[in-house]
Chain A
Amino acid sequence: MAGPLRDPRLRAAVLVLPLVAFIGVTFVAPVATMLVRSVYDPVVADALPETLAALSDWDGLDAPSEAVYAAAARELLEAREARTLGRVASRVNRLEGGLRSVLVRSVRRLREVETGPWREAMIAIDADWGDPRTWHAIRTAGDRLTVRHYLNAVDLQRLPDGSVARQPEDRRIYLALFWRTFVVSLGITLLCLLLGYPLAHLIAHAPPRRAGLLLALVLVPFWTSLLVRTTSWIVLLQTQGVVNDLLVALGLVGDDGRIAMIYNMTGTVVAMTHVLLPFMVLPLYSVMRTIPPQQMSAAASLGASFPRAFRRVYWPQTLPGVGAGSLLVFILAIGYYITPALVGGQSGQLISNFVAYHMQTSLNWGLAGALGGILLVSVAVLYLLYDRLVGVERMRLG
């Protein structure tokens, strides 16, 4: 072979490089920009540079000096011209509720003010301009680099004096949400293990033809569109749905006693267990297939009871499959978005759904980035663990 490609190391690297570059641009860079947004926000700093410079030697106790007001009046008017005022106002508003309208309204009135003193003029327009909390909010929003979204994401906040404290009780939601996501994912993983273990065992030790057929029963749902399966669970579980109809027809519940099994946490757990079950069955099946069934009869003939033979002989050999399946199901569960969004109602929402909420509805992208960042780090740790224990290339895809 010609030239430098004679080196096998270089040859292999040249083959891999195009995909690494492609993934770098189309996937890694996007995820990185999302993470950057969680710590970096230049909007306020770019719009009000002189105001922030003047605020830097403010004592933080009283209304700031006339120089601050003069700079703020000028730069807020410029921001209005540049059409960035709305973005500035929404960022300040997140730190001190109600300031959005104060900013927007004040700037509209400021146009009519010809000369200073600006302090009196602004306080006359809105008394909030005399309140130190307004200026604290502007100064904090002016930090280009900030950890406040991460503090926010774990229910903490930085007080004006610089100390870190817990959020007021009614605003503590994210720690509980992370905990809920963790517990629900763990529950779903255990459910999958409980349901998947006997299933994988049956398939692994069935005669080949029947095993193929049974495996197909696992693989058809696996290949079926997620949205189709989610739709099915709505059809099955809604109050006028198939299962409730069946229960009423059997006389198990009255027509007015139909059970709410969807648009709540039950819906999320049932539908997600269904979606993730094949990811548990497949690695278990791969491992169990290699265990000679004679071992169990040998153990029985030596006098071991079934539970004892299972615990001492069979179960230990399936542990690699249990680990691989459980880790994979748990990794996929903690980041799940679609199913909770469609069938979770209010109570069945997980962390991903709040990332989506802050992306699309509240437009608090910094907080979305911080929540996503924490989620991503958790997934990355589990993924590295999976690679160490199982090897990522051994992931079974049906």
Chain B
Amino acid sequence: MSMPVTASRPSAGRIVYLAVCALIFTFLVAPILVIVPLSFNAEPYFTFTEGMLGLDPAAYSLRWYREIVENEVWTRALGNSLLIGVAATALATALGTLAALGLASRAMPARRAAMGLLISPMVTPLIISAAGMFFFYSSLGLSQTHVGLILAHAALGTPFVVITVTATLSAFDTNLTRAAASLGAGPLLTFRRVQLPLIAPGVLSGALFAFAASFDEVVVVLFMAGEDQRTIPRQMWAGIREQISPAILAVATFLIVLAVLLLLTVEWLRRRSASGARA
């Protein structure tokens, strides 16, 4: 097997290598590619009907999309997901950005320990966080409330903000703030006019990560949400466990589209931030 750049004419080894990679890519993408067409299935099946394979238009329909749009359970779940996601993201982004500004400073005492603590919600097994939050938030009367879920999701979302903003700040030229200060700008003005515009892409992508994490979180919701706080993942969980209906595939397709949009936005921000760091 030869390495890609050295290959002028594809050798047998390289063909095998490319075929293996193609198979792995198929493994990665197939689950997503299968869901989308099946969500247009006219029959209540989870598999391709003969009509679908024969590209018969009658075998495809929007009935599952109609079902989720008309079903109050799903629209309420969407409302809850958006409310909890947006509020938790706002909280996580504000606190996370502030903390990242402090952590980026070399003067920060116990920097490594603080960083380890602040990232820990991301690697702690969710079942432990969720069980602990259930006990603790119940004792404060916050379980089965939107406020409780917002606080919980904000806690789980902050590591994403801390990581992305710290990464952006490490590429940031501290001479810029010093220059602003020497020109007489106070710290707030310096932050608003110099630092913030430069780290804005990092802050925004951190916020998108935090939002995606909340929008997809189900374990804490399983423990803490009542009927009135059910989110989209919670409703999907119920759908998979209890009565599996192809309407789930329509919701799944919607979530895939959302994922692609989030990904494109984050990539666009990354490019902006990379060119900003060079400028």
Contact = CB atoms under 8 A, between A and B. Distances in A.
Same complex for A and B? Answer yes
Interface of A: 1, 8-9, 11-20, 22-23, 26-35, 37, 195, 198-199, 202, 205-206, 214, 216-236, 238, 240-242, 245, 274, 277-278, 293-294, 296-297, 300, 306, 331-332, 334-338, 342, 352-353, 355-356, 359-360, 365, 368-369, 372, 375-376, 379, 383-384, 386-387, 392-393, 395, 397-398
Interface in B243-264: 244, 248-249, 252, 255-256, 259-260, 262-263
Q: Which of the four size classes fits the interface of chain B? A: 35 or more
A26 B152 contact: yes
A35 B163 CA distance: 27
Given A16-B114, A33-B135, A236 B30 contact: yes
B101 interface: yes
Interface string B163-196: 1101100000000000000000011000000000
Contacts of B32: 220-221, 224, 228-229, 232
Interface of B: 1-6, 13, 17-18, 20-21, 24-25, 27-32, 34-35, 38, 46-48, 91, 95-96, 98-99, 101-103, 105, 107-109, 112, 114-129, 131-137, 139, 151-152, 154-156, 158, 160, 162-164, 166-167, 186-187, 209, 212, 215-216, 218-219, 223, 233, 236-237, 240-241, 244, 248-249, 252, 255-256, 259-260, 262-263, 266-267
A22 B25 contact: no
B29 A18 contact: no
A233 B47 CA distance: 12
A55 B154 CA distance: 49
B124 A225 contact: no
A395 B125 contact: no
Contact of A223 (B119, B248, B262): B262
Nearest to A386: B123
Contacts of A338: 126, 218-219
Nearest to A382: B123
- Of A199, A278, A355, A398, most buried by chain B (CB within 10 Å of CB) is A398
Contacts of A245: 47-48
Contact of A31 (B35, B115, B123, B128): B128
Given A19-B158, A198-B20, A300-B2, A231 B236 contact: yes
Contact of B219 (A14, A225, A337, A384): A337
A31 B48 contact: no
Prevailing SS type, chain B contact patch: helix
22 contacts: A18-B99, A19-B158, A20-B99, A20-B114, A27-B124, A31-B128, A195-B27, A199-B28, A217-B25, A223-B259, A224-B256, A225-B233, A230-B240, A232-B32, A245-B47, A277-B28, A297-B5, A375-B125, A379-B124, A387-B116, A393-B162, A393-B167
A198 B209 CA distance: 27
Q: Across chains A and B, which 7 residue pairs bring their CB atoms closest together, nearest first? A: A335-B125, A15-B102, A232-B31, A30-B132, A34-B132, A30-B136, A19-B99
A334 B125 CA distance: 8
A207 to B, nearest CB: 10
Nearest to B186: A1
Contacts of B187: 1
Contacts of B1: 306
A372 B167 CA distance: 32
Contacts of A8: 105, 107
Contacts of B46: 234-235, 238, 240-241
Given A20-B99, A33-B132, A221-B32, A294 B5 contact: yes
B103 A12 contact: yes
